[in-house]
Amino acid sequence: MDPRIRRRIERREARVAILGLGYVGLPLAMEFVRAGFDVTGFDVDAGRVAALNAGKSHVGDVPASAVRSAVRSRRFRASTDFDLLKSADAVSLCVPTPLGKTRDPDMSFVEGAARAVAARLHPGMIVVLESTTYPGTTSEVLLPLLEGGGLRAGKEFHLAFSPERVDPGNPVWGVRNTPKVIGGITPACTQTAALLYSKVVDRVVPVSGTAAAEMVKLLENTFRSVNIGLVNEVALMCDRLGLDTWEVIDAAATKPFGFLRFTPGPGIGGHCIPIDPLYLSWKLRSLNYQARFIELADTINSRMPDHVVEKLALALNDRRRSVRGSKVLVLGVAYKRDVADVRESPALEIVRLLRGRGAAVRACDPLVGPFRVGAEEFRPVACTPKELKAADAVVVVTDHSAFDMEAVVRHARLVLDTRNATAKVRALADRRGNVVRL
């Protein structure tokens, strides 16, 4: 290992750059600041940069007070000027990796970030990709771009992959106490990157190389996707068999070994679970291999919004109403409980399907502002007794803790509960007979 960079890391003198200040990059930047490093965060969104420099936060897991403190200490600044990378000792790439229209990986953000770094790459620099992607990205995409100027990874600079493991809204596990997997292009790259991250996380887990580290992340999220797909199919089977899905799951979960509890829902959302496994499926197709578990889970999970709307249609039909013309109140637009993120949220597809069937849809989410479904804009309303009583049906899509489920059951004419959110008021629901569960 380069003794100079080791010394700068150990003394907290290494200057750290974070490319991408979203839900991954900003928490990482704050953790480096807490560890005593000077951090410059880069983002192409000038408004976001200005807000951060003013001490404001757009990420729920990062309080504004932490940003203000970091800015006031002069250990953190945000910028759109990528020339400041020239003075960085270490760069973490935390940029989006979405799927394209054909559901193939879109590497444009990674490639753009890599080119920005390549133009300012200097001897001794540590470059770490954190964006989730397919095995081979670091060596096949980043490495050629970074070595284009003549410097060699493992000799003149260090290149590694370390998958982000952010769980938005999780009050227990954060950047510091979640083990950090790191794989370098060479053993020296792994060692150097591991030393850097060991200063900000409690445990570093080195692996044999970048492809192994990339595969680790995809295994983690494929595991979740497949198991969610399994339990969603169990919900579909229980529906056909006339069984209570939640009773079956609760009873199975009493087994102290050999069973891990997953729960069904209206679909999957967020940036990771609906997307990450498809990176692996895409990569394997190029090797003439079909990732059948991944594709089957994706099919089942993607169809859950249709199942929710069909179940609502049947429930309304039992009450001599059709979906067309009915007033439907959707509770929860975010993809996950107690977060404000609507990326890939199943609520958006449920709203689209309901509007396609002619329902008048209103939405309630205390964490989400105006959102669009196609060309139509929706402005969330408050979950008041008046709104609940006015609706022909209420669909619980996201079980935010702010929702008073007793009030929902008491005032709504019909409740379709896709999250078992009404379990604690089961007696009231049974008396009223107005709750249908997924």
pLDDT digits (tens, 9 = 90+) for 284-294: 999 999 999 99
At residue 3, does pLDDT exceed 90? no
pLDDT band at 2 (very low <50, low <70, confident <90, very high): confident
- Split at pLDDT 50, 70, 90, the class of 193 is very high
Domain for residue 215, yes or no?
A: no
What is the C-alpha separation between 436 and 389, in angstroms, rounded? 17
Q: Are residues 162 and 268 in the same domain?
A: no
| Angle at 17 (CA atoms; ends 12, 18), nearest 5 degrees | 125
The answer to whether position 229 is within a domain reads yes
Strand (E) or helix (H) holding 377: strand 376-378
Tokens 């992607």, residue?
Answer: 133
Token pair for residue 372? 């669009």
For residue 1, pLDDT over 90 is answered with no
For 68, half-sphere exposure in the C-beta direction (CA atoms, 13 angstrom radius) is: 4
Residue-wise pLDDT for 200-216, tens only, equals 999 999 999 999 999 99
Is 272 annotated as catalytic? yes
Domain membership flag for residue 316: yes
Same domain, 179 and 245: no
Q: Which residues contact 87 (CB under 8 A, 6 or more apart)?
A: 15
Assess whether 36 and 159 both reside in one domain.
yes
Contact 306, 346 (CB under 8 A): no
131 & 50 share domain = yes
Cβ pair 343, 269 in contact under 8 A: yes
Starting at the earlier edge strand, list the strands of the sheet with 327-331.
Answer: 360-364, 327-331, 393-396, 415-417, 435-437
Q: Give me the pLDDT at residue 47, please.
A: 96
Question: Which of 152, 177, 208 is the last residue in one of the domains?
Answer: 208
Q: What is the pLDDT of residue 334?
A: 97
Quickly state the pLDDT bin for 259 (edges 50, 70, 90): very high
**What confidence tier does 103 reach under pLDDT thresholds 50, 70, 90?**
confident
pLDDT at 325 (0 to 100): 97
Domain count, the chain: 2
> CA angle, 275 as apex, 353 and 332 as ends, to 5°?
45
High-pLDDT (> 70) share of the chain, % = 100
Maximal CA-CA distance, the chain: 77
Q: Are residues 238 and 357 in the same domain?
A: yes
Whole-number pLDDT of residue 38 = 97
Residues 227 and 110 in one domain: no
Last residue of a domain, one of 145, 179, 208: 208
* Last residue in a domain, options 156, 177, 208: 208
Per-residue pLDDT at 100:
80
- Assign 389 a pLDDT band (cuts: 50, 70, 90): very high
Q: Which of 189, 238, 272, 364 is catalytic?
A: 272
| 321 inside domain | yes
Task: Assign 72 a pLDDT band (cuts: 50, 70, 90).
Answer: very high
Q: Which domain holds residue 61?
A: 3-208
Q: What percent of the chain has pLDDT over 90?
A: 93
Place of tokens 């079956």: 248
Q: Is the same domain home to 290 and 375?
A: yes
Return the structure tokens found at 33: 């600041």
Task: Give pTM, 2 decimals.
Answer: 0.92
The Cα 237–Cα 242 span in angstroms is: 9
Two tokens, residue 261: 């509890």
287/190 same-domain check: no
Q: Which of 341, 283, 332, 260 is nearest to 61 (CA)?
A: 341
Cα–Cα–Cα angle for 252, 259, 301, rounded to 5 degrees: 85
pLDDT for the residue numbered 169: 87
Is the pLDDT at 335 greater than 80? The verdict is yes
| Domain contains 36 | yes
Q: Would you state the pLDDT for residue 272? A: 84
Residue 37 lies in a domain: yes
pLDDT digits (tens, 9 = 90+) for 350-374: 999 999 999 999 999 999 999 999 9
Calculate mean pLDDT across residues 83-106: 91
Categorize the per-residue pLDDT at 99 as very low, low, confident or very high, splitting at 50, 70 and 90: confident
Residue 217 lies in a domain: no
Same domain, 415 and 387: yes
User: What pLDDT, in 10s, does the model give residues 136-183?
Assistant: 999 999 999 999 999 999 999 999 999 999 898 899 999 999 999 999
- Residue whose tokens read 């169809």: 303
Q: Are 248 and 235 in contact (CB under 8 A)?
A: no
- CATH code, 51: 3.40.50.720
Question: 183 lies in a domain?
Answer: yes
Q: Tokens representing 96?
A: 């989006």
246 lies in the same domain as 376: yes
Q: Are 329 and 388 in contact (CB under 8 A)?
A: yes
Q: Are 111 and 129 in contact (CB under 8 A)?
A: no
| Rounded average pLDDT over 296-301 | 95
Listed in sequence order, the residues at least 6 apart from 384 whose beta carbon sits closer than 8 Å to its beta carbon are none
- Do 167 and 235 lie in one domain? The reply is no
Model pLDDT, residue 186? 97
390 and 299 in a common domain: yes
How far is residue 260's CA from residue 414's CA, in Å, rounded to a whole number? 32
